[in-house]
Amino acid sequence: LMIGPPGKHRGCCGSSKSSNAISRIVGGTSTEEGEWPWQVSLHFVGAAYCGASVISKEWLVSAAHCFQGSNLNCSEVECALLFYLSHCWQFVSAVRRIIVHEYYNSRNYDYDIALLQLSKPWPDTMSHVIQPICVPPFSHKVRSGDKCWITGWGQKQEAGLFLCSSAVLQKAEVEIIDQTLCHSTYGIITARMFCAGLMSGKRDGCKGDSGGPLSCQSNRDGKWFLTGIVSWGYGCGRPNFPGVYTRVSNFAPWIHKYVPSVLEGLQKVSSILLNLQGTHFWVLWLSMEKSIALSPSPTFILINWMIWSY
């Protein structure tokens, strides 16, 4: 998890010490400590494969396609989350369950959302380390041209090996793209998807960033909301092909069914933060005793040309 010194608004979601410097994941620059304290990197058998976001003391949000083809029954497969910092194990927690949306469609990435529940909440001793991002209500809207941010440790360019991914969390400021333009670009955009990036290219998520957050800041109170989840796109940072994201507000009732606290009042969501002592991030490892196929490599579909799911 990308975490750092405590934010200004302890005890509530969406607080960060974010700056406004422009950067990008594809060919981007590094983040600062504590800028995106809800960012999580998921690892499987020692290799990073997806991102996720902290939304409460015991729940994470990610993309459904990160768990495509998996045996997700944690009562049969022992799951564990291990937190890693400076080559030392810091915290271990069993995973109670991984919930992939029941309508997830692997052919077009519709309903591309999943929840991960820990078997126990973060201990109070970690209440100064991690910050959850706010889950937007169903009424939450973003407009074409609004500026938001994507973050991740994925590849910094389209070509090359996955080993070219960044060791330090990267960030990019992107624009929300008009939904009509988004649909005309890809032709398979549903109401549960939206596009963001730059039509000129150069700022985008890439392989390894799937499941990570698209974070938008409220002009009213400065809180950060999990507006989107990195889902799929044509290449990485290509002109005229912005990234496609899961529209989280459409899933507010679904999230609320499993995590009632996140929508009953944003002030009630527990804050979780930790002093990193000069390091830039924590990493969340997902390990399992039995081998399962989690999608460590990008999946793709072919519709006249290749579309990557990041």
Q: What is the pLDDT of residues 276-298, one digit of tens each?
A: 233 333 334 333 322 233 333 33
- pLDDT-derived band at 48, boundaries 50, 70, 90: low
Q: What percent of the chain lies above the pLDDT cut of 70?
A: 58
Kindly list the domain boundaries of the chain, sorted by start residue: 34-133+251-288, 147-249+300-309
Residue 44: pLDDT above 70? no
Is 280 catalytic? The answer is: no
Note the pLDDT tens digit of each residue in 134-174: 999 999 989 999 999 998 877 655 555 444 556 678 888 99
**CA distance linking residue 234 with residue 240, whole number of Å:** 10
Give the active site residue among 110, 112, 204, 209: 112
- The pLDDT of residue 127: 62
Question: Which tokens belong to 220?
Answer: 């009213």
Highest average pLDDT, of 27-36, 70-79, 261-270, comes from 27-36
Burial of 224 (0-12, 13-18, 19+ CB in 10 A): buried
- The pLDDT of residue 39: 85
State how far the alpha carbon of 298 is from the alpha carbons of 49, 67, 106, 212, 290, in Å.
9, 12, 13, 14, 22
Give the active site residue among 16, 43, 56, 65: 65
Fold classification of 147-249+300-309 (topology level) = Thrombin, subunit H (2.40.10)
Is 183 catalytic? The answer is: no
Enter the pTM of the model. 0.74
Q: What is the CA radius of gyration of the chain?
A: 17
- The pLDDT of residue 144: 95
Q: How many residues does the chain have?
A: 310
Is 221 catalytic? The answer is: no
Q: Which CATH architecture has domain 34-133+251-288?
A: Beta Barrel (2.40)
Residue 220: pLDDT above 70? yes
- pLDDT-derived band at 225, boundaries 50, 70, 90: very high
Q: What does pLDDT average to over the chain? A: 71
Highest average pLDDT, of 13-17, 155-159, 219-223, comes from 219-223
Closest CA to 172 of 25, 16, 2: 25
Least confident piece of the model among 8-17, 157-166, 216-225, 242-251: 157-166
Give the active site residue among 15, 56, 166, 210: 210
Average pLDDT of span 27-43: 71
**What one-letter code names the amino acid at 194?**
F
CB-CB neighbours of 182 under 10 Å: 21
**CA distance linking residue 21 with residue 172, whole number of Å:** 9
Question: Which tokens belong to 24?
Answer: 């990008």
Residue 273: pLDDT above 70? no
Question: Which tokens belong to 213?
Answer: 């957050």
Residue 55: pLDDT above 70? yes
245 vs 267, higher pLDDT? 245
- The pLDDT of residue 47: 64
**CA distance linking residue 219 with residue 201, whole number of Å:** 26
